[in-house]
Amino acid sequence: MLQRTLSIIKPDAVSRNLAGDILAMIQAAGLTVKATKMIQLTRAQAEAFYAVHKERPFYGSLCDFMTSGPVVVSALEGENAIQAYRDLMGATNPANAAEGTIRKRFALDVEKNAVHGSDAPETAAQEIPFFFSALEIVG
Ligand code: CMP
Ordered by where they begin, the domains of the chain are: 2-131 (3.30.70.141)
Query: Per-residue pLDDT tens for 27-64?
Result: 999 999 999 999 999 999 999 999 999 999 999 999 99
In this prediction, residue 51 carries a pLDDT of 98
Q: 135 C-alpha vs ligand 1 centroid, how far in Å? A: 30
ipTM of predicted complex: 0.95
pLDDT of 131 over the 90 cut:
yes
114 in ligand 1 pocket by Cβ < 6 Å?
no
Nearest to 5 by CA among 63, 73, 69: 73
- Taking the CA atoms of 36, 32, 8 and 23 in sequence, report the sign of the dihedral they define: negative
Query: Per-residue pLDDT tens for 84-119?
Result: 999 999 999 999 999 999 999 999 999 999 999 999
pLDDT of 139 over the 90 cut:
no
In this prediction, residue 45 carries a pLDDT of 98
| Catalytic residue numbers, as ranges | 116
Banded model confidence at residue 7, pLDDT cuts 50, 70, 90 = very high
pLDDT of 6 over the 90 cut:
yes
116 in ligand 1 pocket by Cβ < 6 Å?
yes
Integer Cα distance of 31 and 68 in angstroms: 28
In this prediction, residue 1 carries a pLDDT of 95
* The dihedral formed by the CA atoms of 41, 60, 106 and 131, expressed in degrees to the nearest 10: -30
* Nearest protein CA to atom 18 of ligand 1, as residue: 110
Q: Is 10 labelled as part of a ligand binding site?
A: yes
